[in-house]
Structure 1
Amino acid sequence: MKSIDKSTRLTNYLIDFILIYILWYVLIVIIDGSNYFSLFYLTTFVYYLVLEYVFQQTIGKMVTKTKVIYNQGGKPEIFRTILRSLFRLVPIDVISYLFGTEIGINDSWSFTRIVYVNEN
């Protein structure tokens, strides 16, 4: 099984971050709320939770033809997807990819991993 490299992870992250930022901005305009940071975290959580649970992919993963699987294979159940989405909000998660392997905190703590779509 071919490992996902850091450049693929970075591509996923950048695409998803841009889309989350756009969604967040639209919500700010619609809601006209003052708690922008809480809304950003909520938008991030819901974006990853819904897309990774329903499709096993975010838009970034669709572009790079990667998907989320449970470490032992197959689609992660909702509990693992919730954990994965929550751990993504930990500030050091993004940094965890810079120092070490291509497996980040959200992967290791939720017992999930990223693979190419045609693999399992």
Structure 2
Amino acid sequence: MNKSTYILDQKLLVSGAVRFLNYLLDNIFILILVFIFGFVMAIVASLFDMNGLLIWLDTIGDLEGRVIFILLAVVYYTVTEGLMGQSFGKLITGTIVVDENGERPSFGTIFKRSLCRIIPFDALTFLSSSSRGWHDSISGTYVVNKKALAEEVKIFKEFNLIGQNEVI
């Protein structure tokens, strides 16, 4: 039995423009999460007569808002990419996060990838010619077109079956 392993072809990487679209779409979803978080916190504070929390929510500053956004972004990317292999932005654009073998990365790798997004200017690094950002390089992940990857892996597996005896 042939035990060769599929290695991702660089031609499957999506362009910087698609990565930028993913970024914009995901930021919209994260902002929705921030709104929901604030709304839920306000309801909880009102129900349990937590006036201090209501005052804090009303006077939240830029630094606190940015910290909340970053924390929710890490949770968003870790949960969506960890469970589905793609965020909602990637789902819309038909792209997926994979490792070098075209497989879904482990939850730990996705968490590492999500934490790397906190690095300043990381969001701009995928605009280079390779279209791999720092969060991709550091975590060893790639963003590819989901359909193109499926077709490539199918061809690879069919090619590896050539010359093997059929088991009846």
Give TM-score, length-normalised by structure 2. 0.66
- Which amino acid in the other structure matches residue 6 of structure 1? G
| Shift >6 Å, 4+ stretches | none
Structure 2 gap ranges (5+): 1-10, 43-56, 154-168
Cα displacement (A) at 1:98: 3.2
State the percentage of identical aligned residues: 31
Structure with the higher helix share, 1 or 2? 2
- Which amino acid in the other structure matches residue 73 of structure 1? G
Give TM-score, length-normalised by structure 1. 0.90
Matches within 5 A, 1:61-80: 61-80=90-109
Out of 16, 21, 25, the position equivalent to 1:15 is 25
Residues 99, 5 of structure 1: alpha-carbon distance in 2 compared, 3 angstrom cutoff = closer
- Which amino acid in the other structure matches residue 12 of structure 2? K
Please state if 1:42 is matched with 2:71: yes
Cα displacement (A) at 1:79: 1.3
Indicate if the aligned counterparts of 2:95 and 2:145 stay in contact, CA closer than 8 A: yes
- Which amino acid in the other structure matches residue 41 of structure 2? I
Indicate if the aligned counterparts of 1:28 and 1:36 stay in contact, CA closer than 8 A: no
Indicate if the aligned counterparts of 2:95 and 2:143 stay in contact, CA closer than 8 A: yes
Matches within 5 A, 1:41-120: 41-118=70-147, 119=149
State the Cα deviation string for residues 52-72 of structure 1 (Å, max 9, x = none). 010001111011101000123
Structure 1 gap ranges (5+): none
Question: Matched residue pairs, number?
Answer: 120
Q: In structure 2, what is the Cα distance between the partners aligned to 1:101 and 1:47?
A: 25
Larger radius of gyration: 2
Cα displacement (A) at 1:100: 4.2
